[in-house]
Amino acid sequence: MKHLDFREKNGYEKVKVTFYPANLNERPFELSIYVATADNDHYAGMADIDSIAKIIVESSGPSGTNKEYLYQLASAMRQLAPQQQDEHLFELEAAVRRLEIGESGAGQPSDCDMQS
């Protein structure tokens, strides 16, 4: 946990929550999550996918680049929870990859943004 606490130190609040596994035969358990707070100077708020992607491509921290963090998170989701489709995460991953190769669709809101 010390590694996570160090990595997530800037602009995140550590919150304990109860996790309910999809498998109803498994018992709920407590875990910690890191939540971005609006009072952080780097909080992007309700930005569109391409704006968030641009921030990710241009940013890094003590643990590495933000795009590598994003790619590893998306990969872990595919491996650990293939039945779950996190549309926002995967749209963001695709937008960052487009920016890396210079094919930005700038300013387009994501489908997730329009569902709210």
Residue 10 near residue 60 (C-beta atoms within 8 A): no
pLDDT (tens digit per residue) in 18-75:
999 988 999 999 999 988 888 887 788 889 999 999 999 999 887 789 999 999 999 9
| Residue from 106, 76, 108, 105 nearest 89 by CA | 76
Is residue 13 among the annotated active site residues?
no
User: What's the CA gap between 51 and 43, in Å, rounded?
Assistant: 12
Token pair belonging to 92: 């963001």
Per domain, the residue ranges of the chain are 1-43, 44-105
- Active-site position among 8, 30, 58, 103: 8
Residue 49: the pLDDT is: 95
Residue 114: the pLDDT is: 40
Residue 8: the pLDDT is: 58
């910690």: which residue's tokens?
A: 32
Half-sphere exposure of 43 (CA within 13 A, CB side): 12
Q: What pLDDT band is residue 7 in, cutting at 50, 70 and 90? A: low
pLDDT (tens digit per residue) in 69-116:
999 999 999 999 999 999 999 999 999 999 999 864 554 444 444 443
User: What's the CA gap between 50 and 98, in Å, rounded?
Assistant: 10
